[in-house]
Amino acid sequence: MSGWKSIIFDDPSSDHPMLPLVVRVMKCIYSTVDPTRPPPSTVDNWRRSPSLSYKVHESGREPSIVILNLREGEEDHPRMNTHFMINLNTMFICDKFKNNRFPAPQEILASLGELRDYVWSIVRGRWEAAEAIRREEVRRLEKKREEQRNRVQAFCRCLVEKGLIDEHDFSSDSLHCPVCSAKQTSCNMCKIISCSNSDCKVSSAIPIVQCFNHPSNNICISCLERPGSLPRLGECPSCAHWFCAQELEWCVGRPISNGNTSGTGPSSPTIVVTRLHSAHPFSCQSIACVANTQASGKNGRRCCNTTCWSRVGTTVCPDCITQDSFSCPCGRYWTCGGCISSAWILRCPGCHRRFCPQCSYIVACEECKDVGFCHDCMEEEESIGVQHAQSADLVFKCRNCRAFLCKTCVGVEEKFCYKCDRDLCKLCGDDATTGDDCEMVCDECRNPASQYDVEEMVYYDDFY
């Protein structure tokens, strides 16, 4: 039954609006054919399963034929065979078992008409819905064509004003450049049109740049800039290809507004800030361009301060690095000049050099933050047999938590791990209690897989 659609009635609890009419027709036909046998009282998926089958006319507006099939299941197998076929167009019934044909009884003609009208309403509704979608698509395409014509006209008027073409040397329906006949291209943002041929004068007059890695990303020069954020595309200064903003490293320019040259903290997009220069990109991600940028000394540095103004971009360019920038001797920490005041910098009380908090050349008390001598000062004082008071104050490194503590902060009261009897510093003692009896447990006993040393406390000079 190719091309046929069906509505099957095999569930008496389905509450289908046509089910009562189908049951009424079924009872009438079975009573008419064999008055001696009681007619079926309802439908089910085993013995009685009527269905409305129909074909849709080529126009799609109406059904070409509607058939009500009264199907019967076999005694021992749920296979349905059609017993009666009622043509709702002609109102004649065909008995498939006896190969007999007769008109529908008068008392069910109204019910059969309602079933036919129901199918007609379904087909008509689907056609109207499809037509509404089609009309909307036609309107959308026509609007798109009209917008395209308007953009082409604006494009050509611009070329006329620039003296590149005469006033009548273009068609508003053309998709090619009126100068070189290459395909047109347009900005993804404002939809302005230009020529896709980079050698054409039109592409220079109306510049649209394209991402080297994403050819579908075309942006005109006027749409590149976005207030409060990086441009959408940037040109690699080494290979001269354009890339999406996230494929480049940028310096957004050190803030210098209101006499503030420090630029601490990232600038809010809603605040207009005067900067040393506009956002400009560094090298793309290719190995050759990265090497060229590093060799020229024009690569930027990344400030370790997470609230630095440069975090709007990614790095600080050489022009924005000030003399008061800070680089730790360990080589792992650098801050621009504007962030040095907000960073926690350790200063050696001996040589007065500055170090980052994570530096291995110097330590500070974890509790009171007092700073001890740096490694070089400690070696120098030991070589001449002199020891400053400050170096004696910062003497303990806890083998449990790895924290450095001065004599004052170690604490007078001794604390021990109740499992291994290891000494615990003040910080460990405050965090190591467990259970209701407040017994203390060191990290190694709490986590046997850890590889801490078994010594309790060591002097600071043993650390180096």
Q: Tens of pLDDT along 273-302? A: 788 888 888 888 889 998 888 888 788 888
Amino acid at 423: D
How far is 85 from 98, CA to CA, in rounded Å? 12
Contact 362, 388 (CB under 8 A): no
Q: Helix, strand, or coil here: 447?
A: coil
Q: CA 356 to CA 335: how far, in whole Å?
A: 10
So where are the chain's domains?
A: 4-135, 207-339, 346-463
Placement of tokens 């709007």 in the chain? 312
413-429 residue pLDDT tens = 556 666 676 666 666 65
| pLDDT at residue 393, rounded to an integer | 52
Q: What is the pLDDT of residue 389?
A: 43
pLDDT at res. 121: 96
> Exposed, middle or buried, 79 (CB in 10 Å: 0-12/13-18/19+)?
exposed
Positions in the chain whose pLDDT score sits under 70: 1-2, 75, 77-78, 228, 257-272, 341-343, 381-403, 407-408, 410-419, 421-444, 446-464
Burial 169-195 (b: 16+ CB within 10 A, else e): ebeeeeeebbbeebebbbbeeeebbbb
The secondary structure of residue 277, as a DSSP letter, is S
Name which of 296, 245, 253, 242 is nearest 275 in CA terms: 253
pLDDT of the residue at 285:
86
d(CA 194, CA 199): 12
pTM of the predicted model, to two decimals?
A: 0.56
Query: Is 405 in contact with 365 (CB distance < 8 Å)?
Result: yes
**CA proximity to 363, closest of 412, 386, 330:** 330
